[in-house]
């Protein structure tokens, strides 16, 4: 085998096993340029956005919250569904359960302690705060899970206002990682992060296992970071967090810590269409549905609008029976009326 052919084989194997080029960095075989770093970041975001469908169950808990200790150890549970442009989150704290569905055409909001479910159509949906956590940003966005959608993928990765990049090899829990450090340049306001850092795992698809930012020095230094545990889902095709720990510190002291645990995760499987509509919400019979101010009722099987023929408490089969009965009565009354008119006409006819 020629040396040229052998080199080509090694090159192609390297590309297949290390698409982000991280192995070469960790071995010290050259520091990538800024353009190469940006390409790595772009692939990370594209990989995550490339997940088309999924169902993820997430539990969050504040283990430290100096601002309001009463919020500590309160468990929040999110069951989130995603398919294409549709997303749904079932959110619960204790006995209170909320549901929110966002599609390109509608926004649906419901709560166990509210009498109605609210449906906002194409003309009104844009005015409604959506607030559904985008599960695909978990482990990418450095913030609380329930407000994760308020921050873009590019807040740190692919942020254009960075310079002074530095890349070096390191380890995390005994596994090799590539540590990327940088400075935020222009466009940063007061108390905004001055420096940032993230670590990419070689063995876990080149995904981040740490993202952090810091501002200030000494006792006034503030940091905000996420530490990510990754797991392979879907026969190893998708690297996704199994746990994310968010920490905020001031002067070296932890002021906030939120632990987000992924209890279940399934990706790239078909989600039933009714999941993103009224029929899939598991509503009790008699629940009022408010369609942009037009009221209806869920009868256990379908939505029955006010003003439809028949009583709202009956199901579809009963409504058909009533319509048939009303038709028979109408025919009988018409025949009776015709006979009465005929008899009256005969009495007025001269002998």
Q: Contacts for 24-28 with beta carbons within 8 Å, 24 or more apart?
A: 25/167, 25/169, 25/178, 26/169, 26/176, 26/177, 26/178, 26/202, 27/169, 28/169
Q: What is the mean pLDDT of residues 168-185?
A: 92
Flag whether pLDDT at 316 surpasses 50.
no
Q: What is the mean pLDDT of the chain?
A: 82
| 118 part of a folded domain | yes
| 18 part of a folded domain | no
Q: What is the mean pLDDT of residues 86-112?
A: 92
| 149 part of a folded domain | yes
- Give the integer Cα–Cα distance in Å for 23 and 176: 9
Q: Give the confidence band of 64 by pLDDT, cuts at 50, 70, 90.
A: very high
Q: Give the confidence band of 74 by pLDDT, cuts at 50, 70, 90.
A: very high
Query: For position 289, what pLDDT does the model report?
Result: 95
The model carries a pTM of: 0.76
- The larger pLDDT score, comparing residue 306 to residue 153, is at 153
Flag whether pLDDT at 141 surpasses 90.
yes
Q: What is the mean pLDDT of residues 82-87?
A: 93
Flag whether pLDDT at 125 surpasses 90.
no
Flag whether pLDDT at 190 surpasses 80.
no
Burial 40-49 (b: 16+ CB within 10 A, else e): bbebbbebbe
**Closest residue by Cα to residue 214 from 190, 201, 196, 202:** 196
| 153 part of a folded domain | yes
Q: Which domain range does residue 154 map to? A: 47-161+205-267
* Structure-token pair, residue 61: 């808990």
| 16 part of a folded domain | no
Flag whether pLDDT at 32 surpasses 80.
no
| 5 part of a folded domain | no
Q: What is the mean pLDDT of residues 83-108?
A: 92
Q: Give the confidence band of 317 by pLDDT, cuts at 50, 70, 90.
A: very low
Query: For position 344, what pLDDT does the model report?
Result: 64
Flag whether pLDDT at 8 surpasses 70.
no
| 174 part of a folded domain | no
Query: For position 306, what pLDDT does the model report?
Result: 75
Query: For position 327, what pLDDT does the model report?
Result: 52
Taking a C-beta distance cutoff of 8 angstroms, is the pair 255, 231 a contact? no
Domain count across the chain: 1
| 252 part of a folded domain | yes
- CATH code of the domain in which 222 resides: 2.50.20
Three-class DSSP category at 281 = coil
């Amino acid at each position: 085998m020629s040396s040229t052919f052998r080199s080509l084989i090694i090159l192609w194997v390297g590309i297949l096993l290390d698409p982000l080029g991280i192995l070469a960095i960790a071995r010290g075989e050259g520091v990538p340029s800024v353009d190469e770093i940006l390409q790595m970041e772009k692939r990370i975001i594209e990989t995550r956005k490339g997940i088309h469908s999924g169902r993820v169950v997430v539990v969050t808990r504040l283990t430290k919250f100096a601002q309001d200790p009463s919020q500590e150890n309160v468990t929040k549970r999110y069951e989130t569904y995603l398919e294409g442009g549709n997303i749904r989150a079932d959110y619960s704290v204790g006995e209170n359960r909320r549901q929110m569905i966002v599609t390109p055409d509608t926004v649906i909001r419901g709560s166990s302690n509210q009498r109605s479910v609210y449906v906002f159509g194409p003309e009104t949906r844009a005015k409604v705060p959506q607030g559904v956590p985008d599960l695909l940003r978990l482990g990418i966005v450095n913030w609380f899970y329930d407000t994760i959608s308020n921050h873009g993928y590019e807040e740190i990765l692919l942020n254009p206002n960075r310079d002074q990049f530095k890349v070096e090899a390191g380890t995390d829990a005994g596994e090799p990682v590539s540590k990327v450090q940088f400075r935020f340049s222009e466009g940063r306001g007061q108390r905004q992060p001055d420096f940032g850092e993230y670590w990419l795992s070689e063995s876990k698809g080149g995904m981040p296992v740490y993202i952090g930012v810091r501002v200030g020095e000494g006792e006034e230094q503030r940091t905000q970071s996420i530490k990510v545990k990754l797991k392979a889902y879907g026969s190893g095709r998708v690297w996704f967090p199994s746990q994310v720990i968010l920490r905020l510190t001031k002067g070296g002291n932890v002021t906030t810590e939120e632990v987000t645990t992924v209890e279940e995760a399934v990706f790239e499987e078909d989600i039933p269409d009714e999941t993103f509509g009224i029929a899939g919400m598991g509503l009790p019979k008699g629940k009022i549905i408010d369609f942009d101010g037009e009221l209806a009722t869920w009868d256990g099987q379908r939505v029955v609008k006010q003003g439809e023929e028949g009583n709202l408490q009956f199901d579809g089969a009963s409504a058909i029976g009533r319509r048939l009965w009303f038709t028979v009565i109408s025919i009988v009354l018409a025949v009776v009326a015709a006979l009465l008119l005929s008899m009256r006409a005969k009495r007025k006819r001269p002998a």
